[in-house]
Structure 1
Amino acid sequence: MHVDQALTVDRERLQSDLERLVAIPSIAFEGYPREPLDEAADLVEELLRDARAAQIQRVDVPGEAPTLVADFPGAGPTVLLYSHYDVQPAPADGWETDPFTPTVKDGRVYGRGAADDKSGIVAHLAALRAFDGAPPVHVKLVVEGSEENGRQALLGVVDEQPDLLRADVMVIADNGNWKVGEPTLSQTLRGHGKLVVTLRTLDGALHSGHFGGAAPDALLALNRLIATLHNDDGSVAVQGLQDGDWDGTEWPEPDFRRQARVLDGVALVGSGAISDRVWARHAISVLGLDAPPVEGAGNIVIPEARAKIAVRVPPGADPVQSLAAVERHVRANVPWGARIDVVVEPASTPIALPALPEAERALEQAFGKPVARMGSGGSVPLVAKLRAAYPDASFVLWGAQDSDLARIHAANESVDLGEIAGIALAEALLLKELSST
C-alpha cells in the first residue's frame, strides 16, 4: 500500500511483527505468570528500537507490567499513538486453534490479542516505518501493559507525571471498523456503572418441602426485581433516564444480527433504530448472579441472593443521575418486603468526541470510501482520563478490530491483515497532514 506514491506500508513486516507478539501469552490478570508480560515488553522495546525511536522510556506502573513510551522527534504538533500489549485470558474451550500459536487463514491472523490490541501496536509501527522512523510531526508512541485487567494503573501515572503523555492529538488504536473494509471513526463512548443488589428474606435456608409455598425465596424475589428493569419488548423501563437520538451512521439490523451472532428466530430487544438503542440510549444488563449452582442444588428456600447490574450511560446523560434513577427503581420494586442492600459503583463519564477533519480525510483516503461515524464501548476509562488531563487535545479512535470476525475477548479472536494495513496507512496520512497545521 502506498502513501502519495512515496511512503509504503510493509505488509510482510507487519504480519511478522504481529505473529511474534501474538505468540506471547501476555495476560495481566491475577493467577497468571508475570514472565510473559516482561517478554512482551522486551519485544515491544525491540520493535520500537528497530523502528528508530530516538528514546524509549520504561514507565514503572505500580503493581503492573511496564508501559513503554517511545519518542520520535519532529516539528509541529505532538501526536500520541496508544495501544496495549496485554491480553484477555484464553480458555481452551471454543478455540479451533491454539490461542497463542498465530495461525493465518484467508488473510486473517488468529490468536489471542491478534486484534485486541496487538494489531494496534503493529499498525503504529508500520505507520512510523512508512517515514523511515522520521515522522513529519513529533510522535509519542505509548504501549501499555495492563489495560485488560480493568485496573489501568497507568492512569495514576498520568496524575503524577502530567507531561509524560501530553500531546495535541491522541490516536487510540483500540477500536475497529464496523465492517471489514468500511472505514469507521468512533465518535461516542457510553459510560459504564454498576450496582450490586442484595436481597434477604430469611434468617437462614429452609427445607422447601416443609416451608416452600409460603416462605419468601430470595432468589425468586431477585428474579422478579430484575424483571422490572425492562418492558416486555426489552426496552429499559426505568423512569428518569435521559436518552437521545443518534445522528451518525445507522447500523443495519441484518449486519447487527450477524455481528452479534443472534440465533435464528430470536428477537432483538428494545425498539427503534439499532444505532439509537446501542449508542444513544441507556442499556441495562445483569453481569452476574450469586445463587446455588444447578449441579448439586439442594431442596431449599434460599434466604439471600445477589446480582451485579450494569448500566451503560449514553453521551448527554448525567452518569450520577442515571445510577441514582436505577437505584431508586430497584428500591421501589422490591417484592414481598425483602430487605435490600445496594452498593453503587459510579459510572464512568460518557464521551462525545468531535470529529477531527484531518483524521476523517486520512481514513477515507486510506480505504477509498466515505467514513462511517459510529459509537463504541472500549477505551472508556482511558479516554475519559486523558480528556480530563489534556482538555485541549483532539482524539481519534480507530483500529483494526472489525465487528464481523474479530471476536475480541472471545474464542477464535482474529484480525484481518488488510484492516491493519489500512489503519497504518491512515495514520501515516494523518501524520503527514498534521504537519501542515
Structure 2
Amino acid sequence: MTDLSADSGAPAARDLSDRDRAVLAAVDAGFDRALEDLRALVRIPSVPWDAYDPAHVQASAEAVAALAEGTGVFERVSIERAPIGDSEELGQPAVLAVRPAKAGRPSILLYAHHDVQPWGDEALWRTKPFEPTEIDGRLYGRGASDDKAGVITHIAAIRALAEVADPEVGLALFIEGEEEHGSRSFKSFLQQHAEVLSADLIVVADSDNWSTEIPSLTVALRGNAAFNVTLTTLEHASHSGMFGGAVPDAMMAFSRLAASFWHEDGSVAVAGLTEADLDVPEQTEQHVRTEAGVLDGVELIGSGPVLSRMWAKPSITITGVDAPSVPDASNTILPTVRFRLSARIAPGQSSAEAFAALERHIAEHTPYGARIEYDSVDLGDPFLVDTSGWGATAAKDAMADAWGAAPVEAGIGGSIPFIADLVQQFPAAQILVTGVEDPGTMAHSPNESQHLGVLRKAIGAEALLLARASERRE
C-alpha cells in the first residue's frame, strides 16, 4: 500500500542559513517583476488546437524565450519544434534553454508549458479571458495558473538564485507549447534533445497544492485513455414516423451503450479497469462538493473515501457528442452518433491495458449489432513518484521553509501523460511534480485564476531547492 495520508514530516519552521534568507529576500524583491511578466504572458491567447491561430503560440514561445535570455544564466536559448511521431508534421514551438553543471553539481530539468486551453463562452467569465485582472489577491485570466504561472515560477526562481550567487547547478529549461493538445511531439522532442535534457532531477511545475496555505508534492497521478467512438446503425437517416419502432436509432444505441459504463452508484462498471491500493488523506464529501460546485441535492458518485475515488480508482467521462442540436432537431432516425470517451486510469495499470478493457466492454455492450469505429486515440500511463531520493526530501524541506507549513504528499485525479515519456527517456532521473494551483484555481474553466500568495511561495520553494542543489556533488 502506498501511503498518501501523512505529510512529509518536514519541519514547518527551521533556522535558515544566511544564503537561504538572501534567496527568499531576492524572491520577494523580484515578485512585482514576476507578476508583470505573468500578466504579459496571459495576454497572449496561446491555444495550440488546430482551429486556433498558431501565430499566438509562436508569440508566446518568443516571449518565454526572451524571459529565459533575460535571466543571464543560460548559455543557449532557442525555440524548437519536433516532429509528431513518425510524420513530417511538426509540433508547436517549445523553448529550450540550457547551461551545464559546474564542479560536479547535479543537473536539473525544469518543465512547464506556455500553451493554454480555449476560453470557451466569454459570457461565463467575470473578466476578459486574456486581460489579466487582479481581484482579491488572485490574478484572473486563461493560463494565469495553468501553466504560465509555472513558467514564471521557474524564471523567477532562477533570477533569485542568480542574484545571490553564480549557480553551479546544471539547468535545462523546457517550456512546452502543446501540453493542452496532447503533447504530440513531446517524445520526439526528448529524443532530439536527450543529451542536454538529461538530468539528475526533473521538476514538473504543472500540478496543484493542498490549499493556499499548505503545499503539496504530487506523488500519484492517474493515467488516461481518451478516444472517439463512431456508432452507426443505418446507411442514411430515415423518417422517425415512418420507421420508428422497427429501425434502430443510433442515438438510442448510444444511450444504452453509454449507460453500461457505470454502476448504479456511478462507479465504473468496465471489467479489467483496476484500482490502486493507496492510503489517502481524510477529506470530507462536503469539501469536494464545494470545490466542484455540486448543486444542492445532487449526490456524489462512487464509494469509499472520497479522495480514493478521485486518486486511486478509474473514472469514465463522455466529454463530447456529435449529434444534431435541439434547434436543428427533426423527426429523423439518426444513422450515426460520434462521441469522445475520456477514462482516467488508476496508478499501477498501463494505459494500453485499460484501452483494451474499454474496447472489450464496448464490443460486448453495443446493442443492435451497431458498427463501431475508433479514431483519435490518446493514451497516457499513470505514475507513482519514488520519494526515497534526495530530490523529494530537498523539495519537501524547501516547501516547508518557503511556505511555513509541512507539505502534503498528494495524489491527483487528473493526468500528466508525458511523465511516462520522461521515465522512459531518463530512467535514472528523480521526477518531482510540483505546481502553483490551489483548489480555487478553476484551471480549464471560465474564471481561471492564480492565487498570488501561492505563486510567491512556490517561487520561494523552487529557489531554495535550486540553491541547495547547487551545494550538492553528484
Q: TM-score, normalised by structure 1?
A: 0.93
Aligned pair count?
436
Distance of 1:138 and 1:345 partners within structure 2: 37
Q: In structure 2, the residue corresponding to 1:6 is in which secondary structure?
A: helix
Query: What is residue 84 of structure 1 aligned with on the other side?
Result: 113
SS at match of 1:93: helix
Q: 43, 50, 55: which one pairs with 2:63?
A: 43
**Whole-Å separation in 1 of the counterparts to 2:99 and 2:291:** 38
CA distance in 2, matches of 1:154, 1:202: 40
1:61-100 matched pairs, under 5 angstroms: 61-62=81-82, 63-75=90-102, 76-91=105-120, 92-100=122-130
Higher helix share: 2
Name the counterpart of 2:354. 322
Change (3 A) 1:72 1:254: farther
What SS does structure 2 have at the residue aligned with 1:233? coil
Q: Residues of 2 paired with 1:136 and 1:249: CA distance?
A: 38
1:3 shift after superposition:
6.9
How much does 1:172 deviate? 0.9
After TM superposition, give the deviation of residue 379 of structure 1 in Å: 6.2
CA distance in 2, matches of 1:35, 1:318: 36
Aligned-partner residue type, residue 22 of structure 2: A
Instruction: Report deviation, 1:57.
Output: 2.5
User: In the alignment, does 2:149 pair up with 1:119?
Assistant: yes
Q: Is the 8 A contact 1:72 1:135 kept in 2?
A: no
* Secondary structure, counterpart of 2:210 in structure 1: coil
Structure 2 stretches lacking a partner, 5+ long:
1-15, 83-89
Contact in 2 for aligned 1:320/1:346 (Cα 8 Å): no
Match of 1:103 among 129, 133, 137: 133
Other-structure match for 1:4: 20
The share of aligned pairs that are identical, in percent, is: 39
Which residue number corresponds to residue 404 of structure 2? 368
* Structure 1 partner of 2:451: 416
Is 1:129 the counterpart of 2:165 in the alignment? Answer: no
Please give the alpha-carbon distance, in whole angstroms, between the structure 2 residues aligned to 1:423 and 1:77. Answer: 21
C-alpha offsets along residues 249-299 of structure 1, whole Å, 9 cap, x if unaligned? 344322211221211211111111112111111111112222222112111
- Equivalent position SS for 1:175: strand
Deviation for aligned residue 1:180: 1.5
Paired with 2:336 and 2:186, the residues of 1 have a C-alpha distance of 38
Which residue of 1 is the match for residue 209 of structure 2? 177
Equivalent residue letter for 1:283: S
**Pair 1:203–1:123, CA change in 2 (3 A):** closer
Q: Is the partner of 2:67 in helix, strand or coil?
A: helix
Q: Is the 8 A contact 1:282 1:313 kept in 2?
A: yes
1:73–1:138 Cα contact (<8 Å) kept? yes
Matched residue SS, 1:4: helix
Shift of residue 136, structure 1, vs aligned partner: 4.5
CA–CA distance in structure 1, aligned partners of residues 298 and 19 of structure 2: 45
Asked if the contact 1:158–1:164 (Cα under 8 Å) also holds between the matched residues in 2, the reply is: no
For residues 31 and 225 of structure 1, what CA distance do their matches in structure 2 show? 30
Give the stretch that moved more between structures: 285-294 or 114-123: 285-294
The residue type paired with residue 58 of structure 1 is S
| Contact persistence 2:223–2:415 (CA under 8 A) | no
Instruction: Output the CA distance in 2 between the equivalents of 1:414 and 1:170.
Output: 26
The answer on whether the counterparts of 2:100 and 2:107 sit within 8 Å (CA) in structure 1 is no
Residues 197 and 308, structure 1, Cα contact 8 Å, conserved in 2: yes
TM superposition score normalised by structure 2: 0.86
Does the 8 A contact of 1:192 with 1:347 survive in 2?
yes
* Counterpart-to-counterpart distance in 2, 1:83 and 1:231: 37
- The one of 230, 233, 237 equivalent to 1:201 is 233
Q: Name the SS for the 2:143 alignment partner.
A: coil
Higher deviation after alignment, 393-402 or 327-336: 327-336
Q: Distance in 2 between matches of 1:137 and 1:286?
A: 45
1:243 aligns with 2:270: no
What letter is aligned with 1:160?
A: Q
Per-residue deviation, residues 19-53 of structure 1 (Å, max 9, x unmatched): 12212222222243343333323322332232212
1:306-351, Cα deviation, whole Å (9 max, x unpaired): 3222221111123333222222222212223334445583632111
How large is the Cα RMSD of the aligned pairs?
2.3
Look up the SS of the partner of 2:125 in the other structure.
coil
- Secondary structure at the aligned position of 1:115 is classed as coil
SS of equivalent residue, structure 1 residue 97: coil
**Residue 58 of structure 1 corresponds to which residue in structure 2?**
78
Q: Distance between the aligned counterparts of 2:111 and 2:227, measured in 1? A: 31
